[in-house]
Amino acid sequence: MNADVQAMGAAFAIAADVRARRRTAVSVVTAVIADIEARDTRFNSVTRILGPAAVAQAEEVDKAVAAGRDPGPLAGVPFGVKDLFDVCGEVTTAGSIVLRDNLPATQDATVVARLRAAGAVPVATLNMDEFAYGFSTENAHTGTTCNPHDTARLAGGSSGGSAASVAAGLLPFTLGSDTNGSIRIPSSLCGVWGLKPTYGQVPLRGVYPFVASLDVAGPMAATLADLQAVYAIMAGRTIDALPDVAGVRVARLGGWFASNISSEITAGIDAVMAHLGSGQVVELPEVARARASAFLISAAEGGNLHLPRLRRRSMQYDPATRARLMAGAMLPASTFVQAQRFRRWFRAQVHEALSQADVLVAPTTVGVAPRIDQPTIMVDGRSVPARANLGIFTQPVSLAGLPVLAAPLAVDGLPLGIQLIGAPDAEASLFAVAAELQRAGLLRCQPLDAGYARKDS
């Protein structure tokens, strides 16, 4: 992907072509669908192609252009949605056969509707961990999503299909959800941009819930410019200008966030901090308890949400998901209350850290994507399951409801990523820091084969 497209954004390059009649929306959409059909057999990132509906919407975009009407800033741009976002006319399965007999959605999720209104065209639903409960996109019903950079490795989860389809160059941007790291982890392992916005900022109407007190919807993209623009549309916000990076105070998280990480991630963060001219290190207290609290809150809320259905149809669930949901449903109320009390205390500690720095830098994962045939990672010298433990650095941050930009490090070989963490509603500072680090060559996303960028499609 060339520098001009990176700066402008792949999605906006497509929209500019469609608006200028250099390409038609129909040709873009049909070419992307053909590309998915030809190449996604290697990755298993897509669960359904929305062919007829996508082509019909693309035709409407082309009619608007021909009539001189404004089709929107994302005119004819194809995108995919994690299969827990309602798409009008489709059954929202949340990655499970348990919901496959439900009636089709009668309207789009709010964020899908906003993107449609901007001219973007949903073309596919994307693979995920069942009911978003996992970090690996290993799904007993829809199969495992493979990492495009090495198909013998996991893509991460639970928004693994969303990250993999961007990394493979099938789609310029996608939608995911993040409760404990489900946007940030696959973004890191697949080497794409991702954003977990401030909790409550992006509407969740029409998004199948997992943990209501933690769930956030956000975009994943091949370019930082697209990530910012799509986020603004999803949130209904305008980012007129980014702050001057020279005035943004940056610190790295130490302690828990400096342990168990690969030497390559350490070197990447060292380079980031050196470029930004900061040697400040901030340590958060009781991070292990914060992670445990996130586990307990997720288990309790998720388990209770699913308990009525588990009583009737438990054997239809993915066995790994079923076991975790049932265990969560049996947690005593006192445990949940204690976890919430700790959460309030920990949130105050994080806000104190953000009084010392505007942006905190942390690793996203301990290292590169685990192998599918050995889905484990090393933590404190022990081999532990990846599906439950890839969120070691993302879960504690989730408790505070802060915005986090998942940024791909400019490394050779398998992807690695970092988290840029900000104060509530301070997404602009995260984009400013990310843009400076990209300009300096320290952050980079390189999709394998961006078929949507080819103008001869």
Look over the chain and give the mean of its residue pLDDT values, rounded to a whole number. Answer: 96
Mean pLDDT of 384-391: 93
Active site amino acids: 82, 158, 182
User: Residue 253: which H helix or E strand, with range?
Assistant: strand 250-253
Q: How confident is the model at residue 8 (pLDDT cuts 50, 70, 90)?
A: low
Q: How confident is the model at residue 2 (pLDDT cuts 50, 70, 90)?
A: low
Three-class SS state of 102: coil
Residue 79 forms beta bridges with which residues?
122, 173
Question: What superfamily in CATH does domain 3-285+344-453 come from?
Answer: Amidase signature (AS) domain (3.90.1300.10)
Asked if the model's pLDDT at residue 47 lies above 60, the reply is yes
pLDDT tens profile 313-358: 999 999 999 999 999 999 999 999 999 999 999 999 999 999 999 9
Query: Cα–Cα distance between 106 and 288 in angstroms, integer?
Result: 43
Q: Which two tokens stand for residue 147?
A: 């990492």
Asked if the model's pLDDT at residue 368 lies above 60, the reply is yes
Mean pLDDT of 386-391: 93
User: For the chain, which residues make up each domain, given as ranges?
Assistant: 3-285+344-453
> What confidence score (pLDDT) does residue 450 get?
84
Mean pLDDT of 306-311: 96
Q: How confident is the model at residue 453 (pLDDT cuts 50, 70, 90)?
A: confident
CB proximity list for 97: less than 8 A, separation 6 or greater: 141, 316
DSSP string, 280-322: -EE--S-HHHHHHHHHHHHHHHHHHHHHHHHHHHGGGS-HHHH
- Integer CA distances (angstroms), 35 to 17, 21, 49, in order: 19, 22, 11
> What confidence score (pLDDT) does residue 35 get?
97
Asked if the model's pLDDT at residue 5 lies above 80, the reply is no
pTM: 0.96
pLDDT tens profile 402-449: 999 999 999 999 999 999 999 999 999 999 999 999 999 999 998 898
Q: Identify which of 236, 229, 170, 182 has the alpha carbon closest to the alpha carbon of residue 208.
A: 182
Asked if the model's pLDDT at residue 457 lies above 50, the reply is no
Looking at per-residue confidence, does 387 or 4 come out higher? 387
Mean pLDDT of 56-76: 97
